[in-house]
């Protein structure tokens, strides 16, 4: 009798609730330092590019246009430096996209700054165009791990013949310096 009771119960799914994140934890001086634009300028860019960047979806919520623009601006500063180096084919970096805490594996999505996020890696070429984006790792995942396990990282590790033949990528000090990925000196003496 008890077994029949368990089989007759229908599963009901709790509806998902999506909350918009309003506001950022940056002051008026920190915001331009992070994105190289004022909040007003990013709002103008969002209005100009909205129709081009909006992604309609029926399964999940797409990344908002404003967030897409902020991610692109974060990578653009590396591209400026990439154009000054010979043999550089692009720049790689990661950024955290904040979101509401998930119901499963919640701890894995808490990043080093103690908020829930996914860690998104992007690679831009010398013109500032994204050539690769990886957006599948929780916020606690380190940038270098994401790169090593990405298609580009695996390909470079297995087939790279030298920076003068295949070029190299620029990255910040969150990545390991390799023959195909140049990172800054941590403590330069001169």
Rounded Cα gap, residues 182 and 84, in angstroms: 13
Q: Tens place of pLDDT for every residue, the chain, 190 residues?
A: 444 444 444 556 666 555 555 556 777 787 777 777 888 888 888 888 888 888 777 666 677 888 888 877 776 665 665 566 778 888 899 989 888 888 888 889 999 888 899 999 999 887 778 899 999 999 999 999 999 999 999 999 999 888 777 888 989 888 988 989 988 877 766 5
Rounded Cα gap, residues 169 and 167, in angstroms: 7
- For the chain, give every domain's residue range: 27-182
Q: 50 in helix, strand or coil?
A: helix
CB 89 within 8 A of CB 168: yes
């Amino acid at each position: 009798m008890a077994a029949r009771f368990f089989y007759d119960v229908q599963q009901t799914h709790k509806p998902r609730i999506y909350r918009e994140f309003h506001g950022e934890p940056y002051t008026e001086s920190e915001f331009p330092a992070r994105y190289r634009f004022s909040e007003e300028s990013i709002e103008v860019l969002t209005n100009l590019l909205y129709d081009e960047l909006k992604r309609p979806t029926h399964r999940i919520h797409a990344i908002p246009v404003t967030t897409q623009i902020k991610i692109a601006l974060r990578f653009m500063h590396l591209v400026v430096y990439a154009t000054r180096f010979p043999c550089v084919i692009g720049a790689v970096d990661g950024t955290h996209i904040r979101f509401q805490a998930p119901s499963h594996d919640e701890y894995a999505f808490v990043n080093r700054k103690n908020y829930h996020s996914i860690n998104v890696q992007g690679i831009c070429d010398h013109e500032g165009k994204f050539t690769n984006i990886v957006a599948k790792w929780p916020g606690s995942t380190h940038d270098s791990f994401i790169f090593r396990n990405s298609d580009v990282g695996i390909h470079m590790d297995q087939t790279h013949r030298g920076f003068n033949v295949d070029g190299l990528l620029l990255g910040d000090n969150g990545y390991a310096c390799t023959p195909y990925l140049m990172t800054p000196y941590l403590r330069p003496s001169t």
